Amino acid sequence: MLDGIMTGLTTAVMPFNLMMVVLGCFAGTFIGMLPGLGPISAVALMIPITYGLDPASGIILMAGVYYGAVFGGSTSSILINAPGCASTVVTAFDGYPMAQKKQAGKALALAAYSSFTGGTIGALVLLFAAPALATVSLSFQSSDYFALMILGLTAVAAFSGKGQVIKAMIMTVFGLMISTVGTDMMSGAPRFTFGSIDLIDGISFLLLAMATFALTEVVMTVLKGQHREEEPEMDMSSLGSMKLSKDEVKEIAPTVARSSVFGFLVGVLPGAGATIASFLAYGLERNLASAKQKLQFGKGALRGLAAPESANNAASTGSFVPLLTLGIPGSGTTAIMLGALIAYGIQPGPRLFIDNPDVFWSVIISMYFGNLVLLILNLPLIPYISRLLAIPRPILIPLILFFSITGVYLVSFNTFDIHMMVFITVAAIFLKLLEFPMAPMLLGFILGGIMETNLSRAMTLYDGDLAFLWERPLTLTIMIISILVLLMPLLARMFQRPAKKPASDEEVSYEGEG
Amino acid sequence: MTLTKDHIGGLVFLCLSVAYGYYAGQIPMFPGDEFEPFHAQTLPNALAWAGGLLSIALLVTARRDRQHRLSLGGYDFQLVAYLLVLVVIFAIALEWVGFLLSTLIFLIGGYWLLGVRQIKTLLIASVPFAAGIWFVLSQLLEIYLAPGRLFTMIFGG
């Protein structure tokens, strides 16, 4: 492991890669601050840029953007009560009241310290957990992989929020359907190409990701008329002190430690990402607080801000565990990264840390640098970065649209791709209006090809018999977990029914899952 | 009966799954492939069934209250349609007038559609940006950007 850490360290400290971390954190913070655009959109916008870089630098840049976007989302939650993404919705509960009390500086600093601690604890646990899990998963066979893909897909559907499970499963199947468009890898037969040469290679991952997450999200802001809203007024002179007193540090230290570990564990679960972690950590902290402290929640409680901030960053780090070790993403954002890695010709999974140790270790090491950059560089620069929010939306929106479109065009130089993006965007807007989540579709699309290959291998080995699903204990275990995960929302509803709980804050859609 | 978002979604995906299943049956196969345990139609057929069953499940379990009805009020569909048409025009312009001019057309058109009317702002926010991006791509990164069919037709090339 020490060799690996050294490999990662030497790759991550290369000046160019350090620059990528800094650049990624800045770009992520800015994009994350824009209401409506979360980490998924931020990372999607970066894909075309990373295509020109080597895999390690590319994934380091994307990881930087990821943290930056989560942090940027917190900033807009605190300053203007407009969460940039779902995972920072809870940050606004106590962060914005603090800003109203002229303690915005303190709230931002607290968010940064909590994020830093959460991210650091997460990165440290990842340092030990990922190689251990990867070693175990080296014994996996094609049937186990197939079962893992099923687990990844069902987990995303199961964690998609109340009343959304069937819709998320439909979207997963839809994503799998899209992945079958193009030439069949095994027989060479064209599938669903309708005689078009442009569809022979299938639909590119970049195109689908950009159309559903960058283009659609921006167009949705126009559809809702958000571009006409007045630019947020932020009085930077009344930020207040960024210092925390000793007592305050003492008060939040246990919260940060608890929420970090808790957030990391939630993040590791495939499908559960930063959003769920932040909501659960907030709920946990409120339950642990005394009756007197409970009253403070929602009115600017330090613990109420520290808990979700530590948890969402730790969960962001945690979601890299299933990605790097098993090749199944823990969240929508890591799903995009998985797609980008596959596009590089790198297959994330158990063999990643043997075949591409530089990518594996440098991502882990650069996560720590990313958190450091956010704390040292971003925090003091927040007053300046948030000025970018003052750029009028009517100017900003066409620019983001332009970057999304040309990002795809400059890879293929085929204008058919732009027409295809428009078509997919129209379909995505329609589906969003019907409240269908987009992340499961992208995950289904990304995992579709690998799933089909492994299913084909397993079925050929067993001569068409489905016994491979239960003959190997490991495959059977993973399949049972998948079924349990799938049944979880149903069971939860059955157990909750007699209690008739009133609607709570946690009843949110995790569509913008970070 | 109230037609809610779930009903519409369920019906759309049911139709999609049926159509997908039909075209899955049209995928060409090599002679003897049908005796293989796994062939080009296997996964598509399974997905068509899965999609169909899930759509029916959605239709059966659909939420029927009024608050889940599809309400299209308050959305600016016209502006979105104009923006998407602008994107299509950008794609066509890329082929005919090249990257630089089509970028200018797209940006000025986008700003205009979103309500910017001052000529000075329109030009300042587009010309330096378009020229800068073109310079970075074609001169610094040495990416070949085709000049556009119109220019090739007029000036040759």
Tell me the pLDDT tens digit for each residue of B65-115.
Answer: 777 788 888 899 999 999 999 999 999 999 999 999 999 999 999 999 999
Task: Give percent of chain B above pLDDT 70.
Answer: 99
**Residues A27-52 as b or e (16 or more Cβ within 10 Å = b):** bbbbbbbbbbbbbbbbbbbbbbbbee
Tell whether B62 and B18 lie within a shared domain: yes
DSSP A86: G
Helical axes B77-113 vs A393-412, angle rounded to 10°: 90
Same domain for B31 and B83:
no
Q: How many angstroms separate the CA atoms of A39 and A16, rounded?
A: 23
User: B64 with B127, same domain?
Assistant: no
A95: nearest Cα among A119, A67, A74: A74
What confidence score (pLDDT) does residue A179 get?
94
Q: Does B103 touch chain A (CB under 8 A)?
A: yes
Q: Are residues B15 and B39 in the same domain?
A: yes
Q: Do B57 and A463 touch (CB under 8 A)?
A: no
Same domain assignment for residues B89 and B119: yes
pLDDT at position A163: 67
Dmax over CA atoms of chain A, in Å, equals 72
B42 and B104, same domain (yes or no): no
Mean pLDDT of B53-74: 86
Percent of chain B with pLDDT over 90: 63
Cβ contact A177–B44 (<8 Å): yes
Please check whether residues B150 and B129 belong to one and the same domain.
Answer: yes
Same domain, B83 and B146: yes
Q: Chain B residues with CB inside 8 Å of A224's CB? A: 74-76
Test mutation, B33, B69, B75, B100, chain A, max A CBs within 10 A: B75
Q: How many CB pairs under 8 A join A and B?
A: 167
Q: Is B35 on the interface with A (CB under 8 A)?
A: no
A196 burial class (0-12, 13-18, 19+ CB within 10 angstroms)?
exposed
Compute the distance between CA of residue A279 and CA of residue A259 in angstroms, rounded to an integer: 11
Residue in A with minimal Cα distance to B52: A170
Name the domain count of chain B. Answer: 2
Given this model, what pLDDT does residue A235 score? 59
ipTM: 0.93
Q: What is the pLDDT of residues B135-152, one digit of tens each?
A: 888 887 777 888 888 888
For Cα atoms B141, B147, B150, give the angle at the middle one, nearest 5 degrees: 170
pLDDT score, position B157: 62
pLDDT along chain A (514 residues), means of 10: 78 87 87 79 83 83 86 82 75 85 83 82 78 75 84 76 81 95 89 91 87 88 81 62 81 89 82 78 86 82 88 84 78 81 79 77 79 80 74 87 87 90 95 89 86 88 86 89 81 62 40 45
What are the structure tokens assigned to A155, written together?
């987990």
pLDDT computed for residue A511 by the predictor? 43
Residues B146, B122 share a domain: yes
pLDDT reading at B27 higher than 70: yes
Taking CB atoms and an 8 Å limit, are B28 and A173 in contact across chains? Answer: no
CA angle B3, B7, B12 (to 5 degrees): 125
Of A177, A422, A465, the CB nearest to B47: A177
The residue range of the domain holding B20 is 5-68
Contacts of A174 in chain B (CB under 8 A): 13, 16, 51
Burial of B23 (0-12, 13-18, 19+ CB in 10 A): middle
User: Do B63 and B100 belong to one domain?
Assistant: no
Regarding beta strands A182-183 and A190-191, do their DSSP bridges make them parallel or antiparallel, or are they unpaired? antiparallel
Interface probe for A, chosen from B30, B70, B84 (most Cβ of A below 10 Å), is: B84
Is the CB of B83 less than 8 angstroms away from the CB of A173? no
pLDDT of residue B79: 94
> Across-strand partners of B4?
B69
Please report residues of B whose CB lies closer than 8 A to that of A395.
111, 116, 121, 125
Q: Are residues B42 and B110 part of one domain? A: no
- Kind and range of the H or E run holding A182: strand A182-183
- Reading the block at residue A53, the tokens are 């870089």
Give me the half-sphere count of Cα atoms (radius 13 Å) on the Cβ side of residue A388.
Answer: 18
Q: Which residue of B has its CA nearest to A436?
A: B9
Contact B106 A402 (CB under 8 A): yes
Domain final residue, candidates B49, B68, B87: B68
Task: Please count the CA atoms within 13 angstroms of the CA of A307 that sit on its side-chain side.
Answer: 29
- Subunit contact A394:B111, Cβ cutoff 8 A: yes
| Residue where a domain stops, chosen among B43, B68, B93 | B68
Please state whether the predicted TM-score (pTM) of the whole model is above 0.80. Answer: yes
Same domain, B87 and B59: no
